[in-house]
A and B are shown apart, each in its own frame.
Chain A
Amino acid sequence: MIYLLCLVLFSLGVYCVLRKRNIIKIIVGIIIIEYAVNLFFILVAYREKGRAPILSSQTPILNMVDPLPQALVLTAIVIGLATTALLAAIAMRIYEKYGTFDITKIRELRG
């Protein structure tokens, strides 16, 4: 079952987000979750002995893979990069203000 391995990757990311206390580790967990979801979409779209969805001018290609989830994932990847940059900017701001990446100490400081 290849879907289950993909979900194991997803749950590793969830474990990292829930359990770690460092902000950079939390960002790493979010990135891993995003990779797992993208991979799941492409796995659903795959067809047995399929070809890439690009037409050829000489020979007609019959068994193509599904182009719709690929288009969705293509936009989702770029959004994920922008979101990661936003998270990194917030983390650098927190480091500049409090001098640490540890979220428990930040909670203590806020009082």
Chain B
Amino acid sequence: MSKEHQAGMSLIVKTITRLTVGLILLYGIYILLHGHISPGGGFAGGVIVALSFIHLMLAYGKEMAFKKLSKGAASFLESGGAIMFLLIALSGFSGGYFFLNFINKGEPFRLFSAGIIPLCNIAISFKVGAGLFAIFVALVLLKTNSKEKER
């Protein structure tokens, strides 16, 4: 049972996953980068990115997903996202107060506009995506551990 579980699902599922997981990841990145001009943003984009890795893990087993994004890298990305968000907020003190929008706003309705909002979106998406991936990995490992104990 455990060996089959680690080997993943059947050939059809693996092939479909190989074709679609890149598109899901790309769609998540699109959602998070365009968060300030269209619906979406850091939260939804981060969850979609996490779902692409979870899709990979469900189809191929956990070794393949850990090869792409290991547990240590996930926790590093989550802490890094939090620290990056806080640093963006703190650097507003260079012009006055906390969370000051200190970068030039640029022309509206373009991709590179709105000052610190795209940077904050990227930081929050790192945090949310890596955190949810870590939660899912923890729950999966709990299940396999309880099985090993029963045996």
List residues of chain A with CB under 8 Å of any chain B CB: 52, 54-55, 57, 74-75, 77-78, 81-82, 85, 88-89, 92-93, 96
**CB pairs A–B below 8 angstroms (5 shown):** A55-B109, A74-B43, A81-B47, A85-B139, A96-B146
- Known contacts: A74-B41, A89-B139. The answer to whether A81 contacts B132 by CB under 8 A is yes
Q: How many residue-residue contacts, CB under 8 A, span A and B?
A: 34
B residues in contact with A57, CB < 8 Å = 108-109
**Smallest Cβ-Cβ distance to B46: which chain A residue:** A78
Does B38 contact A82, Cβ atoms closer than 8 Å?
Answer: no
Q: Hey, which bits of chain B sit against chain A, CB under 8 A?
A: 37-39, 41, 43, 47, 108-109, 128, 131-132, 135, 138-139, 142-143, 146
With A and B bound together, what is the CA distance between A88 and B135 in angstroms? 11
- The main secondary structure of chain B at its interface with chain A is helix
A92 adjacent to B128 (CB under 8 Å)? no
